[in-house]
Structure 1
Amino acid sequence: MPLFDVYPLYDVTPIKAKDILVYDDQGTEYLDLYGGHAVISIGHSHPTYVSKISEQLENLGFYSNSIKNPLQMALAEKLGHLSSCEDYHLFLCNSGAEANENALKLASFYTGKKKVIAFKNGFHGRTSAAVAVTDNPKIIAPINAQQEVVFVDLGDVEAVEIALQSGEVCAVIVEGIQGIGGLDEASTDFYQKLSALCKQYGALYIADEIQCGYGRTGDFFAFQRHGITPDVISLAKGMGNGFPIGGILIHPNIKASFGLLGTTFGGNHLACAAALAVLEVMENENLMQNVRNVSTYFVEKASSITSVKQIKGRGLMLGLEFDFPIAELRKQLIFEHHIFTGSAKDPNILRILPPLTIQKAHIDAFFEALQTVLKNLT
């Protein structure tokens, strides 16, 4: 039985990985500067991570959410401590799309309203409500288009307020830094005004931290730079370091009721063990400080390359903008220099999303390869 043809695939078959290095079935070593779409946060096959999951599997891999799971409680406590969101409540699911789906559903339940404000070039997932608030008509099926969504430009406070004045908006959903859209981030003034408008008009502020959260910017969450308090925070990707887990953090003003949200696999024992291991490594190895240090070094190196028009994003969520499409550049990086990188909606942006464990020597290797490829392309 063939697989359903979804993605264009590079002819590389990874079979093993360690920290920031990946090995294919031919024994070729690759430098991973993409982390599998920003998923690998603490590096591949970290010994603490492997040990915690293996130990949990030997005891109990799964049981129903109808019984107590102490690992969920431990995860909520640890996550609250490291993120400085101790007063929020945690709901666990399996993916980023599910996290946003539940965040939007919760906002509609809580407010009794059904319209949503989202931002152009945003991406929030492929499930029904999540894809409806994603600015990509190609992946919105007719059944998804029934959602009532208003798209505005990121940074346009006036357009947001005009849309809110209808009194029918349940939520505004915004990425801390747009990922696939091109690493754009608005000003602190914009996010603060957006938060104030949500309070004024009774809409929930949903901070999508699925790609930009979990230490990737050097802060635990990207929104924390702007001094705001979202009503709901969605998270996934780096949360499990490859094990499927997602969740939403819910402000304590929003009260739960039976049947409001639910999940079969969300927050299962193995997923929680993986997520706890990630937080343990992040804390013990001071990975957010490492992000800040190596990001500064990366930006300094990138700034010296004349063909880099702009460096977008922050931390280890970075985009190098060139004045030409990067498809061939990316292809040469992977096949001639064995370095994984990413692309964005803007064809001229090379996306960099490595594990948070990356070191300066890895960055040196990348820029040496990049300079060689750029010479070949000119």
Structure 2
Amino acid sequence: MSLFNVYPLFDITPVKAKDVFVYDDIGTEYLDLYGGHAVISIGHSHPQYVSAISNQVSELGFYSNSIQNPLQLQLANKLKVLSGCKDYQLFLCNSGAEANENALKLASFHNEKHKVLAFHNSFHGRTSAAVAATDNPKVVAPLNAQQDVDFAALGDLIAVENILKQNETCAVIIECIQGVGGLDESTTEFYQGLEVLCKKYNTALIADEVQSGFGRTGDFFAFQKHNITPDIISIAKGMGNGFPVGGILIHQNIKATFGMLGTTFGGNHLACAASLTVLEVIASENLMDNAKMISAHFMEKAQSIPQIKTIKGRGLMLGLEFDFPISELRRILIHKHHIFTGSSKNPNLLRILPPLTIQIKHINAFFDALKQEL
């Protein structure tokens, strides 16, 4: 049986990884500045992470959510402390798309409205409502297009209010730093104004932190820079350091009822062990401070390269924009310099999403390679 051919693949076969390095089947070492789409938060094969998952699976890897699972409550409590989001409840699922799907469904349950407002260049996942709220017609099937979604330009509060005042929108979903769309971010005035409008028109504000959460921006969540309080926060990617896990943080103003949400695999014992360890390592190794420190060094190095048109992002969610498509540059960085980087919807943007354990020497190696090719 062949694989369903939906991924364009580089001819590289990783077989092991350690911290910020990946090794292929012929022993080549690659510097990982992409983290598998921002998934690797505490470094590949972190010994504490490996130990926690190994110990958990030797005891109990899985049972359903019909029984008590104290690990879920431990995770919720640790998440509350480290994130500072104290007035929230946790629902666990398996992925970022599923997190956003549940967030949108919950918003509709909460206020009994049916439309969604998203923003141009958004990416929220590939499932039903999540992909309809993703601003890329290439990934929206006719089945998904039945969802009723409006789009506005990032930063346009007038357009937002014109839509919300029709009193049909259950949720506004937004990435405070857009990921796949190209690292665009609006102003604090806009995000705070968005919160005000959502409250005014009884619309849930969903912060999509699937890519930007868990310390990647230097804050635990990207929205925290703007001093807003979303109704729902979606999380995944760096949450499990490679183990499939996602979730939503739900403000206590939204009430739960039996059966409104559910999952088979979400919040299983292995997923909780993985995510608990990620939080412990982020705290014990001061990885959010490291993200800020490395980011400052990255910005300084980038400013010395005249071919870079714009530096985008915060923390270790970064983008370098050029005045030419970066596909060939990215290919050269992989095959000649053995450095993984990422692309985006913006063809001129090179995305940098390394493990939060990255060091200055690794950033220097990247810029040495970049200068050589430019």
Q: TM-score range by the shorter chain?
A: over 0.9
2:125 partner amino acid:
G
Give 3-state SS (helix, strand or coil) of 1:205's partner: strand
1:39 and 2:42 aligned? no
> How far apart are the structure 2 equivalents of 1:55 and 1:226?
40
1:360 alignment partner AA: I
State the match for 2:51 in structure 1. 51
Question: Which residue number corresponds to residue 321 of structure 1?
Answer: 321
Counterparts of 1:225-244 in structure 2 under 5 Å?
A: 225-244=225-244
| Distance in structure 2 (CA, Å) of the matches to 1:300 and 1:276 | 34
- In the alignment, structure 2 segments of 5+ residues that lack a partner are none
Shift of 1:345: 0.5
Q: Counterpart in 2 of 1:89?
A: 89
Q: Look up the equivalent residue of 1:73 and give its one-letter code.
A: L
Distance 1:49 1:337 in 2: 29
Alpha-carbon distance in 1 for matches of 2:64, 2:146? 33
- Aligned equivalents of 1:261 and 1:282: distance in 2? 29
- Please list the CA deviations of residues 85-118 of structure 1 after superposition, one character each: whole Å capped at 9, or x if unmatched: 1220000000000000000000000110001100
C-alpha separation in 2, matches of 1:195 and 1:64 = 36
The code of the aligned residue for 1:312 comes to K
Deviations, residues 192-234 of structure 1 (Å, cap 9, x unaligned)? 0000000000000000000011100000000000000000000
Q: How do 1:75-224 residues align onto structure 2 when only pairs under 5 Å count? A: 75-224=75-224
Q: Partners of 2:214 and 2:277 in 1: how far apart?
A: 13
Amino acid at match of 1:309: K
Q: Which amino acid in 1 is paired with 2:143?
A: I
Question: In the alignment, is residue 253 of structure 1 matched against residue 264 of structure 2?
Answer: no
* Secondary structure of 1:172 counterpart: strand
Q: Which amino acid is 1:91 matched to? A: F
1:271 aligns to 2:271 (yes or no): yes
1:286 is aligned to 286
Q: Secondary structure at the match of 1:343?
A: coil
Say if 2:296 is the partner of 1:296.
yes
Deviations 1:23-74 (A, max 9, x none): 0001000000000000000000000000000000000000010000000000
SS of 1:342 mapped into structure 2: coil
AA of the residue aligned to 1:341: T
Match in the other structure for 1:330: 330
The equivalences for 1:10-29 within 5 A come to 10-29=10-29
CA deviation vs aligned residue, 1:151-199 (integer Å, no higher than 9, x gap): 0000000000000011011000000200010100000000000000000
Q: Within 1, Cα distance between the matches of 2:78 and 2:373?
A: 43
Q: How many residues align?
A: 374
- Partner of 2:233, secondary structure, is strand
Deviation at 1:373? 1.3
Query: What is the CA–CA distance in structure 2 between the aligned matches of 1:64 and 1:145, rounded to whole Å?
Result: 33
SS in 2 for 1:30: strand
Partners of 2:79 and 2:290 lie apart in 1 by: 19
Provide the rounded CA distance (Å) in 2 between the counterparts of 1:149 and 1:287. 37
The one-letter code sitting in structure 2 at the alignment partner of 1:359 is: Q
Q: Secondary structure at the match of 2:307?
A: coil
- Give the distance between the partners of 1:69 and 1:237, measured in 2 at CA: 22
Deviations 1:110-164 (A, max 9, x none): 1100011000000000000000000000110011001110000000000000000
Q: TM-score, normalised by structure 1?
A: 0.99
TM-score by length of 2: 1.00
How many Å separate the matches in 2 of 1:80 and 1:89?
9
Which AA in structure 1 matches 2:225?
A: R
Partner of 2:344: 344
**How far 1:372 moved relative to its partner?**
1.1
Counterpart of 1:272 in structure 2: which amino acid?
Answer: C
Cα distance in 2, alignment partners of residues 42 and 340 from structure 1: 17
> Which whole-Å CA distance do the structure 2 matches of 1:270 and 1:227 have between them?
33
CA RMSD of superposed structures (Å): 0.4
Q: Give, in whole Å, the separation in 2 of the partners of 1:88 and 1:71.
A: 17
Moved over 6 A (4+): none
- Secondary structure (helix, strand or coil) at the match of 2:262 reads coil
Deviations 1:266-308 (A, max 9, x none): 0000000000000000000000000000000000000000000
Report percent identity of matched pairs: 72
Q: Distance in 1 between matches of 2:222 and 2:150?
A: 24
